[in-house]
């Protein structure tokens, strides 16, 4: 696909400086881009390439001061990184709009309802009473169990498994290998020492605008729903247990595990490899550092925590700084003890 600078500027609300008819057919990193490609500059570390790149069009910040003449056509925007993301999203939308129809072989139950402009990939399984809304894309080898609902323009990537009764909203993206609605980890200890499985009869609800990475597992609720609210972004390799709630626009990085019935607030940021115990609440705006272990409810909004068990981020940094000084402090204490002993011995001799 070919786009001119004028067309791109219209999409990202930018201002063209140079030839508005300059056209590009692909994207390139600013340090490697060639003629016919579009690049962007958002990180000052790459400013030197602004003057040497072969890119035909470059998106830059309005605040960028030019130190020499540039041959490429520029598109100036308030935030180059955000504008570039918007452009890539539009590019993907155009490509996906061209992907429609049903590939064979695919199994689609007679009771399933498919909207307009949907795509069903080869070897996909669409169960009884499934609803696939307008514009949704179901890639090859995906599995949609009975009574699953897929919202408008949602993308289910290859190999995703969505168990029965789960509800997926609009404009959701679920990446390859992720499992939605597998059984929660519920077992009742018995008098004889065995563990009796507790049936998991709830579901998972994923609201609009959520993105879930590859190979994540989101368990269905024992009763009720495991809930991922609008705008949340979940990384690869996550474990979200039964009856967990993840708030609006919260972000969770890879290899994090959240135990059952924990409630994550809105706009929470959770780093990689965090472990969170069950039946607690995490306040809105909380920031949890990577590899932290959270064992208690966080009540104060916009708190930053770290460590295992996790506690206030600033206090933790002070504690770490103090612990690094312990060897020197130990040496000073030993020296002071030695000096004190010598003083006591001298005073003792004088008293006699």
User: Would you name the residues annotated as active-site residues?
Assistant: 242
> CB neighbours (10 Å) of residue 324?
9
Give the Å distances, CA to CA, from 115 to 123, 131, 151, 307: 19, 8, 10, 48
User: How far is Cα 306 from Cα 287, in angstroms, rounded to an integer?
Assistant: 9
Could you write out the DSSP letters of every residue in 10-22?
HHHT-EEES-TT-
To which residue do tokens 């019935």 refer?
261
Q: How far apart are CA 264 and CA 129, in angstroms?
A: 32
Structure tokens at 169: 């909203």
Residue found under tokens 């300059």? 22
Give the helix ranges, DSSP H, for 98-135.
Answer: none
C-alpha 288/C-alpha 292 separation (Å) is: 7
Q: What is the DSSP letter of 107?
A: E
Residues in contact with 23: Cβ distance below 8 Å, sequence separation at least 6, in sequence order:
2, 3, 4, 5, 36, 56
Alpha helices (H) along 132-187 = none
Closest listed residue to residue 96, CA positions, set 123, 125, 114, 118: 118
Q: Which of 292, 225, 303 is nearest to 263 (CA)?
A: 225
């Amino acid at each position: 696909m070919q786009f001119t600078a004028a067309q791109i500027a219209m999409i990202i609300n930018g201002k063209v400086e140079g030839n508005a008819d300059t056209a590009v057919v692909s994207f390139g990193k600013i340090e490697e881009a060639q003629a016919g490609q579009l690049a962007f500059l958002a990180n000052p570390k790459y400013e030197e390439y602004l003057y040497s790149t072969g890119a035909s069009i470059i998106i830059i910040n309005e605040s960028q001061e030019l130190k020499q003449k540039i041959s490429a056509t520029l598109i100036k925007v308030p935030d180059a990184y955000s504008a570039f993301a918007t452009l890539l999203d539009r590019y993907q939308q155009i490509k996906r709009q061209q992907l429609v129809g049903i590939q064979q072989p695919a199994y689609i139950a007679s009771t399933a309802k498919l909207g307009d402009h949907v795509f069903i990939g080869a070897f996909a399984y669409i169960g009884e009473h499934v609803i696939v809304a307008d514009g949704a894309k179901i890639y090859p080898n995906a599995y949609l169990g009975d009574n699953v609902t897929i919202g408008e323009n949602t993308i289910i990537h290859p190999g995703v498994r969505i168990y029965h009764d789960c509800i997926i909203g609009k404009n959701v993206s679920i990446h390859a290998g992720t499992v939605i609605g597998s059984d929660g980890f519920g077992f009742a200890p018995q008098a004889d020492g065995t563990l009796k499985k507790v049936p998991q009869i709830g579901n998972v609800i994923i609201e609009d605008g959520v993105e879930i990475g590859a190979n994540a597992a989101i368990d269905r609720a024992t009763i009720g729903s495991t809930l991922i609210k609008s705008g949340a972004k979940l990384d690869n390799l996550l474990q979200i247990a039964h009856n967990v709630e993840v708030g609006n626009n919260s972000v969770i990085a890879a290899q994090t595990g959240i135990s059952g019935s924990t409630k994550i607030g809105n706009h929470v940021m959770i780093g990689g490899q965090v472990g969170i115990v069950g039946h607690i609440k995490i306040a809105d705006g909380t920031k949890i550092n990577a590899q932290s272990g959270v064992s208690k409810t966080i009540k104060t909004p916009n708190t930053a925590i770290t460590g295992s068990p996790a506690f206030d981020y600033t206090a933790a940094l002070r504690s770490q700084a103090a612990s690094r000084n312990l060897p020197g402090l130990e040496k000073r204490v030993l020296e002071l003890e030695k000096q004190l002993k010598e003083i006591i011995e001298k005073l003792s001799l004088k008293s006699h």
